[in-house]
Amino acid sequence: MLGPSTTWYVAVAGVLFGIGTTGVILRRSPLIVLLSLEIMLNASNLALVGFSRHFASVDGQIFAISVMAVAAAEVCVGLGLIVAFTRRNMALDVDTLTELRG
Amino acid sequence: MGNVLVWIIWVVAAFACVSTGIAVISFTNPFYSALALIGNLASLAVLFLLASAEFVAAAQILVYAGAVMVMFLFVIAYLGGRADAPWAGGPRWLQLGAFVVGAAILIEVIVALATKASGGLSSDAEISRSFGSPAEIGKLFLTDHLLAFEITSIVLLVAAVGGVVLGMKTLAEDEA
């Protein structure tokens, strides 16, 4: 087989997932939080594709495509929420969006 | 010779992946972050290609770089380029905690790889030439994974309806 082994794929996926987690916790803008979530979803996709080749089973790739569809749905709803925030003149800051707190 | 070439392309794509990922979470302007994420997705598509996942790579470019990122860029343009101060917002312990959690996940993956998978992951199973081709994936989607396929379509429909409902003008807004 050509190229790096599955270990390298999973290592890069782990690095990307860590970057995404850091972004979700660190950033205050909901837009950047969504972008960081995309990085985390893609990291899991990379691990799925790597293991799919490792076990010579296409099921992992099927799962990766399903994850992609779910990510598209999540972006659709998330961006809708952000636009709704703006139209209600709420601040785009995850620390100040506390209206739902009981 | 071919193996060396694959390694070089893989290392370049992996490096581009990680550096654009760091760029996404460190740019002040969300527009630049979105552009960096497009680079991230494109280099991930190269990694998918090298793992013989041709259809996933094509879907990655079409769905992510084509549709999702255009939607992101539209919303960012609609909201105006409002920059948030990434390193200033929030208490100092939260920023430190973010790095600690990110590093913890990374170390967890490395430890899991080193202890459990050091020997088992180095030798891959043999794969056929048609592995990951659109024909094979399409056949699996319409036979073994038909339920997942149908549920995905319903999820997308619900998300589209939800997007429209969230974007609708509400009664309260008209009165205001």
Q: pLDDT tens for residues B34-45?
A: 999 999 999 999
Q: Report the pLDDT value the prediction gives residue B117, as an integer from 0 to 100.
A: 64
- For A49, which of B3, B51, B84 is closest by C-beta distance? B51
Task: Tell whether B49 is within 8 A of chain A (Cβ).
Answer: no
Look at residue A27 in the predicted model and tell me its pLDDT. Answer: 83
**B71-102: per-residue pLDDT in tens?**
889 988 888 766 665 555 556 787 788 888 88
B34 interfaces chain A, CB cutoff of 8 Å: yes
Question: What's the average model confidence in pLDDT over A65-80?
Answer: 92
> How near does any CA of chain B get to the CA of A30, in Å?
10
Question: Min CA distance, B13 vs chain A (Å)?
Answer: 10
Query: Which among A15, A22, A73 has CB closest to B155?
Result: A73
- The answer to whether residue B129 scores a pLDDT higher than 80 is no
Positive or negative, the CA dihedral B70, B75, B81, B86 is negative
CB contact under 8 A, B33 and A38: no
Looking at this predicted complex, what is its ipTM?
Answer: 0.89
Tokens of B117: 């998978």
Instruction: Look up tokens 């929030």; give the residue.
Output: B90
**pLDDT number for residue B121:** 66
CB contact under 8 A, A86 and B37: no
B29 pLDDT tier (thresholds 50, 70, 90): confident
| SS3 category, B151 | helix
Q: How many CB pairs under 8 A join A and B?
A: 264
Degrees (nearest 5) of the Cα angle B161, B166, B167? 100
3-state secondary structure B70-118: HHHHHHHHHHCCCCCCCCCCCCHHHHHHHHHHHHHHHHHHHHHHHHHCC
B174 CB within 8 Å of a chain A CB: no
